[in-house]
Amino acid sequence: MDKKTIKDIDVKGKKVFVRVDYNVPFDENQNITNDTRMVRTLPTINYLLDNGAAVILACHIGRPSEAREPQFSTKHLVAHLSELLGKEVKWASDCVGAEAEKAAADLKAGEVLLLENLRYHKAEKKNDPEFAKQLASLADVAVDDAFGVSHRGHASNAGIAQYVEVVAGFLMEKEINYIGKTLEAPQHPFVAIIGGAKVSDKIGVINNMIEKVDKIIIGGGMAHTFDAAKGLPIGDSLCEPDKYDLARELLKKAEEKGVEVILPVDLVIADKFAADANTQTVDVDKVPEGWQALDSGVKTSEKYVEALKGAKTVVWNGPMGVFEFDAFANGTLAVAQAVAKATDEGAVSIVGGGDSVAALKKTGLTDKISHVSTGGGATLEFLEGKEMPGIAAIADK
């Protein structure tokens, strides 16, 4: 998967269209509450500016309806982005049409223009060729640095490639290299940790991982579906009865491939889903009626830590429990510490998916991981081995 990057092109004196993923969270006063996605694009933008380009940024925020809902305007990004870049960012009140065209035409080398929300136009998600052509007409070359939308074939990241060459920004390059190349030729032992609430969300990932890994740790809410499928009592724990057959199939497939599956042996259970619930730790086959499992127990954490010893490649997607409540965050913390330790001892570690990234942030170990992915759904689909329209559109070397 050798894709062209911004290092492979000459941008001096050129207008560069950059698709970024600035779909950031805001509070009720339109203040940005987490700017990680913006910060991660700064190396790309600064490189382009330093090399004499005029930079035109395009992104979407939220899911606007027919009306141009003002809370989704990219105008709310301008002040903070100007601060991050240390220069005034210009803004256009549309992403195509006369005003956008004039703003782009007037833009000089070293200047930055942010376009209005792409999704104010239905044509963006429809990958409308005319809309893609209008976006392309604003610039001489396009850069895709929006890994978070690369699983979507939209006009700004896929359709645009019909009209202008698209190359990868540094953030996109990092995602492709870490996730793509690591999965193509992983170092062994390779351990996957798959958590989160539902088996249905992660079927593709588990299926793909069984083909590649030596061990797979299954935790979080989805583990109860596997336990119930094996006939264990799970009380009121989260479960998907319509996935029992699938769970058995996945376990059988793992066995046939010689992949060790590690499921919880003990659980922290609660009498209600709340931070102040009464709790106790029980063996996995002793969950009483009326109680629900919300985290893995100490013995399980020890098994997870043991499984990660000596690992050379680790992929982690999804928490081990309801980490948002401190009482049920210990299983996730134990995994985070073990992954950080494995990384310190030479493993390549990739953490991806919204919840895993939030859980990792809570443990304070983010900088101890080789690569923390910026994608939610995109990371999942990449881990599943699916074709990604946004990546396919980037020019090959």
What is the dihedral sign for C-alpha 21, 27, 32, 37? Answer: negative
62 is in an annotated binding site: yes
What is the dihedral sign for C-alpha 360, 365, 370, 373? Answer: positive
Instruction: Confirm if 348 and 313 have CB atoms less than 8 A apart.
Output: yes
User: Of 169, 64, 46, whose CA–CA distance to 124 is shortest?
Assistant: 64
Q: Which of 15, 37, 215, 303 is catalytic?
A: 37
Q: Which of 198, 253, 341, 361 is catalytic?
A: 198
Residue 7 CA to residue 207 CA, distance in Å, equals 36
23 is in an annotated binding site: yes
118-140: burial string, b at 16+ Cβ within 10 Å, e else: bbbbebbbebbeebbbbbbebbb
37 is in an annotated binding site: yes
Residue 290 CA to residue 281 CA, distance in Å, equals 15
63 is in an annotated binding site: yes
354 is in an annotated binding site: yes
User: Of 250, 274, 275, whose CA–CA distance to 263 is shortest?
Assistant: 250
The pair of structure tokens assigned to 350 is 């990739």
151 is in an annotated binding site: no
202 is in an annotated binding site: yes
The pair of structure tokens assigned to 228 is 């119930």
Asked about 37 being catalytic, the answer comes back as yes
Q: Which of 110, 204, 377, 385 is catalytic?
A: 377
Counting Cβ atoms within 10 Å, is residue 391 exposed (0-12), middle (13-18) or buried (19+)? buried
Asked about 86 being catalytic, the answer comes back as no
Q: Which of 169, 219, 331, 354 is catalytic?
A: 354
Asked about 198 being catalytic, the answer comes back as yes
Q: What are the contacts of 173-177 at 24+ separation with CB within 8 A?
A: 173/3, 173/5, 174/371, 175/147, 175/150, 175/371, 175/373, 175/374, 175/375, 175/382, 176/1, 176/3, 176/391
User: Of 315, 391, 327, 325, whose CA–CA distance to 353 is shortest?
Assistant: 315
Binding site residue list for (2R)-3-phosphoglycerate: 37, 119, 152
Catalytic residue numbers, as ranges: 37, 198, 354, 377
Binding site residue list for ATP: 202, 324, 353-356
Binding site residue list for substrate: 21-23, 37, 60-63, 119, 152
Binding site residue list: 21-23, 37, 60-63, 119, 152, 202, 324, 353-356
